[in-house]
């Protein structure tokens, strides 16, 4: 009876979470505008989606910011992880605590804090301020992905490379980076996914003139849900689902369960 209740509870939660998304995806293929009546299978709203200049502009902003934020945060996060790993035990623990704080902090706190920072320095919010915000919240996730691979690496490999004639830069490129590559790739994909999906921080760090897909959906949804938003949301969900599955698969491969 206990196992049955546990399974029933899990199934109920999954249905509660995913049935609305399934309904949204189905409605994106509805030929009519009514959400209460099925008027036939059609791809008309997907065609309208790709014809919309506002949505295409928002898509461009979303993808470019996600790519730039992923690349920059991966470089900075990897270097930061290597630096933290080289510290002594107490400073390392302190830095890891400071690194974990942004990940446990509510997004709205981070978003408002960055907005106030930009206002204090009189920086006009737009594309570049949103990019800086995305880099900021992506870096801790990259550090968290790279650090376990550093701990798995032989700590004397770097010193051995130096003894064999490598410069510090060569030892970094030929010894450390190949050893932590799986963590770097996972961190980059995670940063891209988080940036692609972010709304709260983006909302507070950009202007109405520069919108990504999440802020565009929010602004249009206040005027009424259009069928094109169903199509857009369906594509975003499928894209993020695929990326998350890849990230989770890589994470599981990088951290196998020991029997």
pLDDT per residue over 175-196, tens digit each?
Answer: 999 999 989 998 998 999 899 8
Residue 212 and residue 148 in contact, taking contact as beta carbons nearer than 8 Å: no
pLDDT of residue 242: 86
- pLDDT on residue 237: 86
β-pair partners for 41: 30
User: Which run of H or of E encompasses 36?
Assistant: none
The partner residues of 30 in beta bridges, in order of sequence, read 41
Mean pLDDT of 188-210: 92
Tens digit of each residue's pLDDT (9 = 90 or more) over 26-55: 888 988 877 778 888 888 989 988 898 988
CB atoms within 10 A of CB 251: 16
Q: How far is CA 74 from the centre of its chain?
A: 12
Residue 84: the pLDDT is 94
Rounded to the nearest 10 degrees, how much is the dihedral formed by the CA atoms of 76, 82, 87, 91?
Answer: 40
* Residue 255 banded pLDDT, cuts 50, 70, 90: low
The reported pLDDT for the residue numbered 222 is 77
Residues 38 and 141: their CA atoms lie apart, in Å, by: 43
Cα separation, 27 vs 34, whole angstroms? 9
**What's the pLDDT score for residue 253?**
64
| Domains recognised in the chain with CATH numbers | 51-253 (1.10.3720.10)
Report the pLDDT value the prediction gives residue 111, as an integer from 0 to 100: 94
Using a pLDDT cut of 70, give the percent of the chain over it.
Answer: 96
Mean pLDDT of the chain: 88
- Pick from 14-23, 116-125, 219-228 the range whose average pLDDT is largest: 116-125
In 3D, which of 195, 188, 238 has the Cα closest to residue 214? 195
> Which pTM was predicted?
0.83
- Following DSSP, what letter does each residue of 117-169 receive, concatenated? HHHHTTPPPSHHHHHHHHHHHHHHHHHHHHHHHHHHS-TTHHHHHHHTT--HH
The predicted-structure confidence for 226-250, as pLDDT tens digits, reads as follows: 888 888 888 888 888 887 788 777 6
């Amino acid at each position: 009876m206990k196992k049955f209740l546990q399974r029933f509870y899990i199934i109920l939660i999954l249905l509660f979470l995913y049935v609305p998304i399934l309904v949204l995806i189905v409605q994106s293929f509805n030929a009519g505008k009514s959400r209460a009546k099925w008027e036939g299978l059609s791809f008309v709203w997907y065609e309208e989606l790709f014809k919309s200049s506002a949505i295409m502009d928002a898509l461009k902003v979303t993808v470019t910011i996600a790519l730039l934020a992923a690349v920059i945060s991966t470089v900075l996060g990897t270097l930061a992880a290597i630096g933290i790993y080289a510290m002594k035990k107490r400073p390392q623990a302190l830095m890891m605590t400071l690194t974990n704080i942004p990940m446990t902090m509510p997004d709205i706190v981070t978003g408002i804090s960055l907005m106030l920072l930009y206002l204090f320095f009189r920086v006009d919010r737009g594309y570049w301020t949103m990019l800086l915000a995305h880099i900021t919240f992506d870096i801790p996730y990259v550090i968290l992905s790279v650090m376990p691979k550093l701990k798995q690496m032989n700590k004397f490999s770097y010193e051995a490379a130096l003894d064999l004639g490598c410069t510090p830069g060569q030892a970094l490129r030929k010894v450390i980076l190949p050893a932590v590559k799986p963590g770097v790739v996972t961190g980059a994909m995670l940063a891209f996914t988080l940036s692609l999906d972010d709304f709260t921080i983006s909302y507070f760090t950009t202007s109405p003139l520069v919108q990504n897909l999440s802020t565009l959906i929010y602004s249009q949804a206040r005027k009424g849900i259009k069928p094109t938003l169903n199509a857009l949301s369906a594509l975003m969900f499928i894209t993020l689902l695929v990326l998350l599955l890849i990230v989770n698969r890589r994470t599981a491969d990088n951290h196998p369960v020991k029997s």
